[in-house]
Amino acid sequence: IQFCVKTFYVEQKPWKTVYVNYFVKHFIIGVTVLVVAVPEGLPLAVTLSLAYSVKKMMKDNNLVRHLDACETMGNATAICSDKTGTLTTNRMTVVQSYICKKHCKVLPKYGDIPKKVADLIVQGISVNSANTSQILPGANPTDLPIQVGNKTECALLGFVQNLGKRYEDVREQIPEDRYTTVYTFNSVRKSMSTVIPLPNGGYRLYTKGASEIILKKCSFIFGENGTLAPFSKDQQESMIKNVIEPMACDGLRTISIAYKDFVPGEPAPNEVHCQGEPDWTDEDAIVSGLTSICVVGIEDPVRPEVPDAIRKCQTEELLSIATKCGILKPGDDFLILEGKEFNRRIRDSNGEVQQHLIDRVWPKLRVLARSSPTDKYILVKGIIDSKATSNREVVAVTGDGTNDGPALKKADVGFAMGIAGTDVAKEASDIILTDDNFSSIVKAVMWGRNVYDSITKFLQFQLTVNVVAIIVAFVGACVVQDSPLKAVQMLWVNLIMDTLASLALATEMPTPELLLRKPYGRTKALISSTMAKNIIGQAVYQITVVFTLLFVGDKLFNITSGIGQEIGAPPTQHFTIIFNTFVVMTLFNEINARKIHGQRNVFKGIFTNPIFYCIWICSMLAQVVIIQFGGLAFSTTPLSPEQWAGVWYLVLEPWFGNKS
């Protein structure tokens, strides 16, 4: 418009064919400004950052099934974790025992126990467990043994091995087809019993189960040195108080082992006389008057990496594990609920779940014990839909079992265990932990926050270039009838700030410092106040330098002005210096863009990302080649060493002064 008004109205010149070149030139400038103005590199930066992070997360044992999950994880505000197999190893282990009235917190050896009692323990555990329960050697000599089958039975079999005996030998001597009767475990009897024939006639019953139930069925117990002693009701209560409860307070599941002999001859005090087979259908009579052999305390050890991982994130057995993990600390005013109590608190008189009731519970809830899949789902949904906080919570759920499936599916990010996890859990998850390691979740949080930061770093860098390039091109075109930055030059700048910068800034590695700040939250602006100050400050600085060079640069460098050049005129050193200074400022601002939280040392960690410094060095070398040898293709002319020194002075003096 300005060209038309000046040429045809003010100067009243007639139309010439050569004016078509001017319209083409102005059109190219307009298209170039449009290309630079649109941040088309942002989707590329997002995709590159996510793809790069997913690849790196695989090395950190996080198999990402849904790409957006890794970024979402960076803003997680609550992590709901299943206990068994997730926080713990799911390798039940005997850690305490009570044998012959001796409470051992260090597991005894076979020779430390009276022989008769030790033999009863070995045989009683070996035969009174399913043959499917086994302990197999690991794939490598350094690997832990593999527990196959029922974990509680595997713990007891491990106890036999710790005594120095082989349960396999006992099973070979008394194969399963010789068992007379088996009372399988169920939730009512809470015990399992097996009857085997004795070599001299008669039968022996072995029983194992919940201590408080088995002890009440015992009439005898082995005392010191393996002597048989009566076991009265008062002694039972005393044992529960002084042995069972302390074990429970240590977070142990207590299992009692007992036996009873049916003999055809004269019975001992703890034996029962029988002629022929007893009535095995009368279970209550058969499983009574037992002799207590021992009580053991079993725990599912906390994974060694979990306490530190939870520290970074931040029933009796559940209470103990929560304390060991660091979820609970002494003096904390937090809730520990069982599933029944949880449902009582969150449902109204009609039995309907109410969100306002959930909001009263979940902020202080730290342990939900004996919970059903429905309870887990309701809790996760309740946290997500909560009105108790100003921002919508971002919930991650970890689990390994089929019963964790609904909660994993509902969560913003679901983590499934890759080794011990079921197919249902894996299918419902967004990320699979290939090493079943809880600390890998912490790495996922770090990578998620790193993705967010990588995107904002690129955004800070690109918006600065956008603002400067648009203003310089538009104002320059309006004021001097020509853009100081030519079309090809602008496209080179666009290549730097889009493709190369997105690759450089989207491949930064995460640092532990990312965990020291709170999650951004769902409603936080993508451009923070610090970023806005960086963008505006850097843009003002660059625009000031470019316009200074545009209007007085020819005098500063004592060169011919490039303003008012005719179409087809050769490139000038004046506009070459403007282009060179702008690109060098942009490249140094790329280093500034690495820090978005107000850090002063922008060089910190710069050599941890070889992709970044390789791209930066190559871009700078390419700029030198373009200036010195670009010629008409890039509208440049070679600069002298003094002119290069002047460009670097303009760039580095304020830059280092600002960062000192």
Encoded tokens for 458? 């690129």
Q: Are 313 and 441 in contact (CB under 8 A)?
A: yes
Q: Are 549 and 556 in contact (CB under 8 A)?
A: yes
What is the DSSP code (8-state) at residue 499?
I
Q: What residues pair up with 63 in beta bridges, in sequence order? A: 432
Place of tokens 């520990």: 336
Phi, psi torsion values for 567, nearest 5 degrees: -65, 135
Give Cα 343 distance to the centre of its chain. Answer: 29
Query: Is residue 359 annotated as part of the catalytic site, yes or no?
Result: no
Q: How far apart are CA 573 and CA 438, in angstroms?
A: 61
Amino acid at position 392, single letter: R
Residue 225 CB partners (closer than 8 Å, separation 6+): 100, 114
Helix (H) or strand (E) holding 22: helix 19-37
Phi, psi torsion values for 165, nearest 5 degrees: -115, 160
Helix (H) or strand (E) holding 203: strand 203-210
- In the set 60, 82, 375, 482, the catalytic residue is 82
Compute the radius of gyration of the chain from its Cα atoms: 38
Q: Are 577 and 472 in contact (CB under 8 A)?
A: no
User: Around 133, how many Cα atoms within 13 Å sit in the side-chain half-sphere?
Assistant: 19
Amino acid at position 244, single letter: I
Helix (H) or strand (E) holding 194: strand 191-197
Catalytic residues: 82
